[in-house]
Amino acid sequence: MARRAEANIIAGAADLPITTQPAMHITLASPADTPHLFEVWEASVTATHDFLDAAAIAALAPIVQELLHSFTPIHCIRGEDGLPFAFMGVQEGMLEMLFVHPSRRGQGAGRLLATHALNQLGVTQVDVNEDNRQALGFYERLGFRTEGRSATDGFGKPYPILHMRLG
């Protein structure tokens, strides 16, 4: 009897729809992507930087918009609609930014971008807000270790930054 139930469960599984994520590919962002990159940044920061209030995020917004217009290259992963939902920027071995839209977190986009940064772009360093425990754990799992700390962020605000290096 148990064997028959097992066979029915296995046979029934063939009738279940199989859902798979489309393959993710890294592309370069274009200037036309900038508004979407900003939306990804804003949604990501709102979801993960709980140490920043709405006023602090609003104060950063024009700085980030300008940075996204001028930083090159920006590597991104696009959704089925062709719009970026995750992106990163690298300069001189430093992972300067990596953001994933919260609706797409946990699907491997951040890991894919970070792995590309490490293996293809020579990244060995990243700075992380000390209070962003999720990002800190993510980078530690990738092999980064804290080698220093600054009491303030790059704008002199009281948001401590951990300086991490691979290895």
* Helical residues (DSSP H) of the chain, grouped into ranges: 2-13, 34-48, 54-70, 109-120, 133-141
CA atoms within 13 A on the CB side of 160: 11
CATH number for position 144: 3.40.630.30
What is the domain count for the chain?
1
Cα–Cα distance measured from residue 140 to residue 125, given in angstroms and rounded to the nearest whole number: 12
Q: State mean pLDDT over 118-132.
A: 97
Indicate if the pLDDT at residue 94 is higher than 50: yes
Is 8 domain-assigned? no
Strands 144-150, 125-129: pairing is: unpaired
Indicate if the pLDDT at residue 132 is higher than 90: yes
- Band of residue 1 on the pLDDT scale cut at 50, 70, 90: very low
Is 85 domain-assigned? yes
Is 18 domain-assigned? no
Is 30 domain-assigned? yes
Cα–Cα distance measured from residue 86 to residue 75, given in angstroms and rounded to the nearest whole number: 8
Domain of residue 74, residue span = 24-166
Cα–Cα distance measured from residue 137 to residue 77, given in angstroms and rounded to the nearest whole number: 22
Indicate if the pLDDT at residue 36 is higher than 50: yes
* Tens-place pLDDT, residues 44-77: 999 999 999 999 999 999 999 999 999 999 999 9
Is 71 domain-assigned? yes
Is 161 domain-assigned? yes
Is 19 domain-assigned? no
Is 17 domain-assigned? no
